[in-house]
Amino acid sequence: SAKWSRAMGIVREFQDKCDSPIGKLRNLADAMTVEMHAGLASEGGSKLKMIISYVDNLPTGEEEGRFYALDLGGTNFRVLRVHLGGKDKGIIQTEFDEVSIPPHLMTSSSHELFDFIAAELAKFVATEDEKSHPFPGRQRELGFTFSFPVRQTSISSGTLIKWTKGFSIEDAVGEDVVGELNKAMERVRLDMRVAALVNDTIGTLAGGRYYNPNVVAAIILGTGTNAAYVERANAIPKWQGPLPRSGDMVINMEWGNFRSSHLPLTEYDDDLDVASLNPGEQIFEKMISGMYLGEILRRVMLKMAEEAEFFGDTVPEKLKIPFILRTPHMSTMHHDTSSDLKDVASKLRDILEINNTTLRMRKVIVELCDTIATRGARLSAAGIYGILKKLGREITREGEDQKSVIALDGGLFEHYKKFRQCMESTLKELIGEEASDTVVITHSNDGSGIGAALLAASHSQYL
């Protein structure tokens, strides 16, 4: 029918715009490398902030003692206690508590958010017995994973540049987040010191390095997306301080804010951006990460409903609600292997109250999932390839058998199988046959929490 072909026209146009052939990905990787250089050259030199983390030593395996970690940066909030046994014993025990962040706190005041965090931390500490206290007479020490763009002023302090991923708390911007946490901990009389302020990428890098010395970069694909990697300190023109003895400096790229004319953007991306809490920012993140993929799908479906009556002569009311369709829903539909696509049918029915879909319609929905996930996965692979190029590790050099291991983590990477497979195969495609064995991707499961505890250990006041 005419309506069906109008709907298919919308789908085809969307797919054309999302296309990311290998040549485009190479251009993107090169653009990423160029921006990395620019961001390292001067403060504000690029959309990529290339933040100096003050982490110039990564875990060695010799870390010892009991340390805490706190992970804030998206959907969930976690508190951990890690017992490190040193060289021979490794990690003896990890205990953790996880709570989802009450949504109203994400747009409340700094005071309220940090009070909540400190209270959860105090609760966690209150459950422990005497013998799990780090050391009698010593202060407890914490690695604070705060996964938003922070201008670091030392290993244990930094000011919030801006919020991302649906958080928006005006009065915290420009404030020292460790100072805010310290004040809140004082309010609940919790005697604990922040030994290291990091984000999830740096935590994951540290956690990955603990197990494997060849880890050179870490990528998060979760609610948001970001990357960190080990740079040579003398390759950072904007670094004014003394060169660290290791010669290394970990850089937090904040790659979610990457932008390039080579990005395959569509009208749906533009509309999503305009309607977001941070218009004009985090464009790369908005094409890739878990917070947004389902929302892109909703927007395409809404357009098909409005302009081609795809779901009947009225537009389904639920389909008009931003962010109602989450990426895990999209992932379930995408992975539906049943002959009648019953999971697609039930998601459409349960979430969007769209009933009576035909198999042919459901197939179109699966195709849309594939288009959106494939684009995101291929773009992430291009970003990783850009980092490898910056490090000169995208090719195997004569006589060298260096391995480059990239630690990945985040709910999107962990749970969205087709996304992950596509990302890995695209990276292989970019690297090519000869060098494909020298680049290895590992899932650094919960590296960020353990990594923060490890960094607290190596920056302890008692060393």
Residue 75 binding ligand ADP, by CB under 6 A: yes
Question: Does 200 qualify as catalytic in the annotation?
Answer: yes
Q: Contact between 416 and ligand ADP (CB under 6 A)?
A: yes
Catalytically annotated residue among 78, 209, 375, 420: 78
Contact yes or no for 328/322 (Cβ under 8 A): no
Provide DSSP, 48-106: S--EE-S------S--EEEEEEEEESSSEEEEEEEEEEHHHH-EEEEEEEEEEPPGGGG
Q: Least distance (Å) from Mg ion to the CB of residue 96?
A: 13
Which of ligand ADP, Mg ion, none sits in contact with 143, Cβ below 5 to 8 A by type? Answer: none
The separation between CA 211 and the C-alpha centre of its own chain, rounded to angstroms, equals 21
Residue with tokens 């030593």: 57
Q: CA-to-CA distance for 119 and 94, rounded, in angstroms?
A: 20
Q: Residues 115, 176, 200, 446: which is the catalytic one?
A: 200
Q: Which stretch binds Mg ion (CB under 5 A): 93-101, 216-224, 305-313, 439-447?
A: 216-224
Per partner kind, with CB cut-offs from 5 to 8 A, the member of Mg ion, ligand ADP, none near residue 412 is ligand ADP
Is residue 411 near ligand ADP by the rule CB under 6 A? yes
**Element holding 406 (H helix, E strand):** strand 404-409
Contacts with Mg ion: how many residues (CB under 5 A)?
Answer: 2
The one segment of 126-134, 211-219, 274-282, 323-331 that binds ligand ADP by CB under 6 A: 323-331
- The smaller minimum CB distance to ligand ADP, of residues 115 and 285, is found at 285
Report how far residue 181's alpha carbon sits from residue 194's, in angstroms, rounded to the nearest whole number: 9
Taking the C-alpha atoms of residue 288 and residue 206, their distance in angstroms, rounded to an integer, is 24
Q: Which is nearer to Mg ion, 69 or 405 (CB)?
A: 69
Q: Which residue has the tokens 């919030």?
A: 160
* Shortest separation between residue 78's beta carbon and ligand ADP, angstroms: 9
Answer yes or no whether residue 445 interacts with ligand ADP by CB under 6 A. no
- DSSP at 233: G
Query: Which partner, ligand ADP, Mg ion, none, binds residue 327 by CB below 5 to 8 Å per kind?
Result: ligand ADP
* CB closer to ligand ADP, 152 vs 327: 327
How far is residue 27's CA from residue 139's CA, in Å, rounded to a whole number? 50
Among 134, 166, 222, 449, binds ligand ADP (CB under 6 A): 222
**DSSP summary character for residue 176:** B
328 binds ligand ADP (CB under 6 A): yes
Query: How many whole angstroms from its chain centre is CA 287?
Result: 13
Per this entry, what is the length of the chain?
463
Q: Name the catalytic one among 20, 46, 108, 147.
A: 147
Number of chain positions touching ligand ADP (CB under 6 A): 16
The residues facing 335 across adjacent strands are none
Query: What residues between 174 and 203 interact with Mg ion by CB under 5 A?
Result: 200
Asked if 290 interacts with ligand ADP (CB under 6 A), we say: yes
Regarding 412 and contact with ligand ADP (CB under 6 A), the answer is yes
C-alpha distances in angstroms, 47 versus 104, 144, 292, 355, 408? 30, 25, 20, 44, 23
User: Which stretches within 171-282 are classed as H helix?
Assistant: 177-187, 200-211, 267-275
Choose between 134 and 256: whose C-beta lies nearer to ligand ADP.
256
Tokens 């292989």 belong to residue: 428
When asked if residue 149 is in the footprint of ligand ADP (CB under 6 A), the reply is: no
Binding residue for ligand ADP (CB under 6 A) from 257, 278, 331, 380?
331
Cβ atoms 28, 263 nearer than 8 A? yes
Select 178 or 291, whichever has its Cβ closest to ligand ADP.
291
Binding site residues, Mg ion, CB under 5 A:
200, 222
Residues that bind ligand ADP (CB under 6 A): 73-76, 222-223, 290-291, 327-328, 331, 410-412, 415-416
Q: Which residues are catalytic?
A: 78, 147, 200
